[in-house]
Amino acid sequence: MHIGLIGLGKMGNNMRARLERNGIQVTGYDTNPDISDVASLADLVAALPAPRTVWAMVPAGDITDSVVNELAGLLEAGDLLIDGGNSKFTEDFKHAELLAKTGVDFMDAGVSGGVWGLDNGYGLMVGGSAEQVERVMPVFDALRPEGPRDEGFVHVGEVGAGHYAKMVHNGIEYALMQAYAEGYELLDTRKDIIKDVTGTFKAWQRGTVVRSWLLDLLVRALEQDPEFEHIEGYVQDSGEGRWTVEEGLNNAVPLPTISASIFARFVSRQEDSPAMKAVAALRNQFGGHAVKAVD
Amino acid sequence: MHIGLIGLGKMGNNMRARLERNGIQVTGYDTNPDISDVASLADLVAALPAPRTVWAMVPAGDITDSVVNELAGLLEAGDLLIDGGNSKFTEDFKHAELLAKTGVDFMDAGVSGGVWGLDNGYGLMVGGSAEQVERVMPVFDALRPEGPRDEGFVHVGEVGAGHYAKMVHNGIEYALMQAYAEGYELLDTRKDIIKDVTGTFKAWQRGTVVRSWLLDLLVRALEQDPEFEHIEGYVQDSGEGRWTVEEGLNNAVPLPTISASIFARFVSRQEDSPAMKAVAALRNQFGGHAVKAVD
Amino acid sequence: MHIGLIGLGKMGNNMRARLERNGIQVTGYDTNPDISDVASLADLVAALPAPRTVWAMVPAGDITDSVVNELAGLLEAGDLLIDGGNSKFTEDFKHAELLAKTGVDFMDAGVSGGVWGLDNGYGLMVGGSAEQVERVMPVFDALRPEGPRDEGFVHVGEVGAGHYAKMVHNGIEYALMQAYAEGYELLDTRKDIIKDVTGTFKAWQRGTVVRSWLLDLLVRALEQDPEFEHIEGYVQDSGEGRWTVEEGLNNAVPLPTISASIFARFVSRQEDSPAMKAVAALRNQFGGHAVKAVD
Amino acid sequence: MHIGLIGLGKMGNNMRARLERNGIQVTGYDTNPDISDVASLADLVAALPAPRTVWAMVPAGDITDSVVNELAGLLEAGDLLIDGGNSKFTEDFKHAELLAKTGVDFMDAGVSGGVWGLDNGYGLMVGGSAEQVERVMPVFDALRPEGPRDEGFVHVGEVGAGHYAKMVHNGIEYALMQAYAEGYELLDTRKDIIKDVTGTFKAWQRGTVVRSWLLDLLVRALEQDPEFEHIEGYVQDSGEGRWTVEEGLNNAVPLPTISASIFARFVSRQEDSPAMKAVAALRNQFGGHAVKAVD
């Protein structure tokens, strides 16, 4: 099988390697000419055998949107485009509709695994028709982890369902990370009692209820920098966490831990908190409590 | 009526003024000899007519504990001690038991109102027997706000009940302040839309559902420093908020907003967050996401 | 001044009464012919002197949208429509643009006060140009509470700003209510200590830091039904709370108490919680903890 | 090695089996004579070679307390008692002090793994001196999972440290479970999009960031009862989660997700929520919003 792959960044490049390692021929396109196999999207389309299969692995939002729009003018009836980036599921509905006008098929694929996917395989959640899934299965099988297919791949539903599942996956991921982080902070704060914080996390890797891949990574990080001396408590967030909470709001689903973990990230990026300034000002007003004045 | 007042700080001094203004004779004791009427607790006790009424207005914890212990050796059967500070209700049980050994009565009084109490009167929540309450009522009437007694004073229950009610009052207060503060931050962040943040809060003072005394104080603070330029978002907490959540835990009562407001204060005081360092480290481990390195 | 008022429900009817009481002539339209002055929106427009001022007070969403669309075909250049309902601020942008095509002015007004507005006046937050605000000021002055104008009325910014401020107002309101409710539950749970729950809330009305209009209403509710025996813990939410959190997410503003109060409402409406079924199932899996089986 | 084991319930019995399987001789005592090897604690002590090693595996609180107190009168200098139950770490300080009076050693051990521990091994976190740890190491090695010792066992610190680490472990566990549960509820609510909820969780088992043992158990539970039709969303909590939050409060460590998961359990057990009754009553007061009346 021979596919086109758009986006040869950190994720795309690793995926290309895994695909090729598993017998899929890949022609890659990237805006960076140094790493691109072809000069343009038009050249990419020209280089692929019809009916074409193209996998887009570019940042969600404007960039994905512009790639899809350009491809809508290049691909032909019977071709198939897969958006493997982190697009919002509502974008998939729009993109599928656009491409359907010229008979081009569209699928969405949520891809998990980060930089470890090259060796471990990528967890895949895909949306589309049964026929589309069957057609792309060799690609999915090349990307997903070893072992039973249904433990690393799922056909979630129609177009949009793959990204929906990935969105929720990431929402859960945020809260899992926050849970371990809270426990870490408490243990770290009571080093008068806990003489071996890293060792405690390390010992949770086998037998305990909290063992997980994230725990393994936390142990790895602690072994590299046991006091996190070389890292700031400043945490970005991508869209999926926010969209998960937005979906919770739209569907009256309570998401207290997922929202708490996103809010914690927001706070982590603030130099000072306007809200806490207001609280400090209020305390000062009613109680005459001293405030910390800005110098 | 003639009472003793222990603690002539910000709160105690204002209370003394309001008591005297309303016809209660006060002999005051403070560890600061410049403002104390008498040289010692023993002198205070000696200066009061028996049966004595003594109001302690000192910091909760060790200081209150030591005052009560010293008074236990000075007061006589039939005397009455009122703890008007912010003691934990469980301390009241202990203090009442200690004093009962020598026939000394004990009451607890939660006092709200801050620096405004001198002029507005103090909201009072008291614990003790009906007889005790009746005996001290002239003092309560002098301290409480004008208007119907039951809108500014309550006999909550037996010893400890007054401080319990005050504890919950403060727990609620924390969450109310946080609620306004969150709204402030959102309005302040969208100054592209909200052209008059202070004016918006000011306009909520009459007619709206959110009008309150805290809102009035927030308007006052914003009019003094509209951008909170001279204040840091660093907020202390006294014990009551924590005890409220502890009681929620002990009694299986969910307190999501009260706990959230206390946690927000904890975060406000951290230079960097160990928990968010852990999250940043985790993201770096699985996604190769750049971390903000400490310089 | 003579204006048209669309929507004569609970809110609209009270507003009409207050407007007329304060010298504004009102022609009202409602889809219910029994209470409507005119038979149609076209008749309403015909009944008003040009340039017309029309105030829409109908449910947000589809109904407001259809009213605005119909009026777009009826009103003339120089007329002015005010949306006083609880529309999302993004709707205002759309409606202003639509009406601008035919030279019709558009303003948005957030209105707070509920059923008490008739007598207390309505807190008003409006969006539009300075000229528009000046033109409608007699109406705003008739609706707003007695006292200084800027304590019950604010010109927040351009179109959309009024509804934005009202949205945040309601978000805050949710969290304030939740705060009192959590305190109530804790006091109610410890009736072994708190012998007079209603009396405790009543005593907070004067002098304390937590005094507010919502507290007054809670006291009123407790006096009518001290154990809330005739009420279920089932709470609806209108859109503003959700939109507030959505805006927090969009702007990276942490809103822990506001989101917690919305989630509490979601839970209150569930017969059983899918999430807690999953937790119960998990505990059963690892610990052999008994689950409560559905009969 | 020959030890005494007190408590032959679900956990104790499995631990006994694993100990014996790995060459440790066990004399067991239980209050249930049908399963007990000896008739009393005195008989247990008599049956063990001095210096004795006794492992208590009984419910935390009063029962553990009474077992320790009885053993204090039976064990002799040089004997060693290990509390392997879920005691609060502050209890350990008390128990160690009591036993030290007669020269009896005391250690605490947090044990994780539930009903799976028999086959998987138990994650162990222990508190005590280096000498004590060395002395009991054959027992720890018999109980812990296969593989490197430090991935399933940790000597956390002095007495109390083992239970402290286990407490935090369980606090984290609560939040992890809640995180998956929230994701489950959102997916389950959007079954219009997610055609295969169980399959989605199943596919997260390999390659994804959220893979974990708890996820494996959730898949197992969903495969047994895909709609959770036979389970109620009613979730108990043991002490550790509460103590974790209490420790967070005592040490100014923010724990938003851990506290949220405990509060969710509290709510799950309420027939109706007093807090939400109060919110419903408030909405009714200001807005005339209909309330759901109790029939």
pLDDT in tens, D132-161: 999 999 999 999 999 999 999 999 999 999
Is residue A293 very low, low, confident or very high in pLDDT (cuts 50, 70, 90)?
Answer: low
> Residue A98: which of A74, A69, A127, A63 has the closest Cα?
A69
Nearest CA to CA, how far is B76 from chain D (Å)?
Answer: 37
Rounded Cα distance, C262 and C246, in Å = 12
Angle made by CA atoms C210, C213, C214, in degrees to the nearest 5 = 75
What residues in D contact A247, CB-CB < 8 Å? 186, 190
Location of structure tokens 């198939």: A80
List all chains that touch chain A, counting a touch as 3 or more CB pairs closer than 8 Å: B, C, D
Task: Let me know if residue A210 belongs to a domain.
Answer: yes
Contact across the interface for A211 and D207, Cβ inside 8 Å:
no
pLDDT digits (tens, 9 = 90+) for B58-92: 999 999 999 999 999 999 999 999 999 999 999 99
Chain A residues within 8 A of B184 when measuring between CB atoms:
274-275, 278
Residues in chain A within 8 Å Cβ distance of D212: 176, 210-215
Q: Which residues contact B271 (CB under 8 A, 6 or more apart)?
A: none
Q: Which of residues 85-144 of C touch D (CB under 8 A)?
A: 114-116
Kindly state whether residues D146 and D36 are assigned to the same domain.
Answer: yes
Say what the pLDDT of residue C290 is: 64
pLDDT at B60: 96
Cβ within 8 Å of A, D 247-276: 247-248, 251, 253-258, 260-261, 263-264
B237 touches chain A (CB under 8 A): no
Global pTM?
0.96
* Alpha-carbon Rg for chain C in angstroms: 23
Q: Is B188 found in the same domain as B135?
A: no
Q: Are residues B203 and B225 in the same domain?
A: yes
What is d(CA C282, CA D236) in angstroms, rounded to the nearest whole number?
12
The answer as to whether C57 is a domain residue is yes
- How much is the average pLDDT of B190-202? 98
CA–CA separation, C262 vs C285, rounded Å?
Answer: 31
Same-domain status, C132 and C214: no
Is C291 part of any domain?
Answer: no
Flag if D178 and A144 touch (Cβ within 8 Å). Answer: no
Helix (H/G/I), strand (E/B), else coil: C108: strand
* B18 and B132 both lie in a single domain: yes
User: Rg of the Cα trace of chain D?
Assistant: 23
Residues of D annotated as part of the active site: 166, 173
On the question of pLDDT at D291 being above 70, the answer is: no
Q: Where residue A238 falls among pLDDT bands split at 50, 70, 90?
A: confident
CB contact under 8 A, A256 and C242: no
Total of domains in chain C: 2
In degrees to the nearest 10, what's the CA dihedral of A26, A31, A35, A36?
A: 40
Q: How far apart are CA B17 and CA B38, in angstroms?
A: 17
Is A280 in CB contact (< 8 Å) with chain B? yes
pLDDT single digits (tens) A122-175: 999 999 999 999 999 999 999 999 999 999 999 999 999 999 999 999 999 999
Least confident of B9-18, B241-250, B280-289: B280-289
The answer to whether the CB atoms of D186 and A261 lie below 8 A apart is: no
CA closest to B175 among chain A residues: A279
- Report residues of chain C scoring pLDDT below 70: 289-291, 293-295
pLDDT of the residue at C197: 98
A188 touches chain B (CB under 8 A): yes
Q: What is the pLDDT of residue B114?
A: 85
Q: Are residues B154 and B171 in the same domain?
A: no
Active site residue C166: yes
D189 has a chain C CB within 8 A of its CB? yes
CB atoms within 10 A of CB D285: 23
User: Does residue D215 lie within any of the structural domains?
Assistant: yes
CA atoms of B236 and C295, how far apart (whole Å): 50
Which one-letter DSSP state was computed for residue D144? S
Q: Which of B220, B175, B182 is nearest to B198 (CA)?
A: B220
Residue where the block lists tokens 């409060």: D249
Q: How confident is the model at residue A114, as a pLDDT?
A: 85
Q: Does B162 touch chain C (CB under 8 A)?
A: no
When pLDDT is averaged across residues A5-10 and rounded to a whole number, the result is: 96
Give C124's strand partners: C111, C153
* C17 and C119, same domain (yes or no): yes
pLDDT at B238 over 90: no
Amino acid C238: pLDDT: 86
Query: Nearest by CB to B184, which of A116, A236, A274?
Result: A274
- Under DSSP, the state recorded for A40 is S
- The pLDDT, as a whole number, for residue A291 is 66
Q: List b or e across D164-199, with b for residues whose CB sees 16 or more CB atoms inside 10 angstroms.
A: bbbbbbbbbbbbbbbbbbbbbbbbbbbeebbebbbb
- The pLDDT value given to residue D249: 98
How far apart, in whole angstroms, are the C-alpha atoms of residue C15 and residue B9?
51
A41: tokens are 């999207």
Which C positions 9-48 lie with beta carbon below 8 A of chain B?
A: none
The C-alpha of B53 sits at a distance from chain D's nearest C-alpha, in angstroms, of 35
Q: How many CB atoms lie within 10 A of CB A229?
A: 9
Residue A53 reports pLDDT greater than 80:
yes
Residue of A nearest to C266 (CA): A252
Report pLDDT for C293: 67
Neighboring chain A residues of D223 at a CB cutoff of 8 Å: none
In the prediction, which pLDDT does D287 show?
81
Catalytic residue among A70, A94, A158, A173: A173
Quote the CA–CA distance of D131 and D237 in Å, as a whole number.
35
Residues forming beta bridges with residue D154, ordered by sequence position:
D125
Residue type, B59: P
Closest-CA residue of chain A to C236 = A252
Residue closest to A191 by CA, chosen among A232, A221, A227: A227
B281 touches chain C (CB under 8 A): no
Within this chain, do residues A8 and A151 fall inside the same structural domain, yes or no? Answer: yes
Q: Are residues B140 and B73 in the same domain?
A: yes
CATH number at residue A92: 3.40.50.720
| Closest CB to B244 among C186, C208, C248 | C186
Select from C116, C235, C278 the Cβ nearest to the Cβ of D181.
C278
Q: Within 10 A of D129 (CB to CB), how many other CB atoms are there? A: 13
pLDDT at residue B221 greater than cutoff 80:
yes
Q: Does the distance separating the beta carbons of D266 and B263 come in below 8 Å?
A: no
A123-127/D153-157 β-pairing: unpaired
Q: Give me the amino acid identity at A263.
A: F
Is the distance from CB of A179 to CB of D258 less than 8 angstroms?
yes
Domain that holds residue B59: 2-158
- Tell me, yes or no, if D55 comes closer than 8 A to chain A by beta carbon: no
Question: Is the same domain home to B46 and B67?
Answer: yes
Reported as a single tens digit per residue, the pLDDT across D23-37 is: 999 999 999 999 999
Average of per-residue pLDDT across D87-112: 98
Q: Please identify, among C128, C158, C188, the residue that sits at the C-terminal boundary of a domain.
A: C158
Instruction: Give the distance from residue D180's alpha carbon to the nearest chain A alpha carbon, in angstroms.
Output: 6
D53-71 confidence digits (pLDDT tens): 999 999 999 999 999 999 9
A286 occurs within a structural domain: no
CA distances from residue D179 to A177, B88, C123, D130 in whole angstroms, order as listed: 10, 34, 40, 37
Q: Within a 10 A sphere around the Cβ of B153, how many other Cβ atoms?
A: 26
**What average pLDDT is seen over chain B?**
96
Start-to-end C-alpha separation, chain D? 66
d(CA B205, CA C155): 15
Burial class of residue A1 in the structure, from the number of CB atoms within 10 Å of its CB (0-12 exposed, 13-18 middle, 19+ buried): middle
Residues B72 and B191 reside in one and the same domain = no
Q: In the structure encoding, which two tokens stand for residue D165, read together? A: 């680490």
**CB nearest B245 (choices: D249, D264, D267):** D249
Residue D191 maps to a domain: yes
- Are residues B142 and B178 located together in one domain of the fold? no
In a domain, residue C115? The reply is: yes
What is the rounded CA–CA span in Å between residue A211 and residue A202?
A: 10
- CATH number for position A225: 1.10.1040.10
The answer to whether C81 touches C105, Cβ cutoff 8 Å, is yes
What residue of D is the nearest CA neighbor of C285?
D217
Contact C242 A250 (CB under 8 A): yes
Residue A290 located in a structural domain: no
pLDDT of residue B115: 87
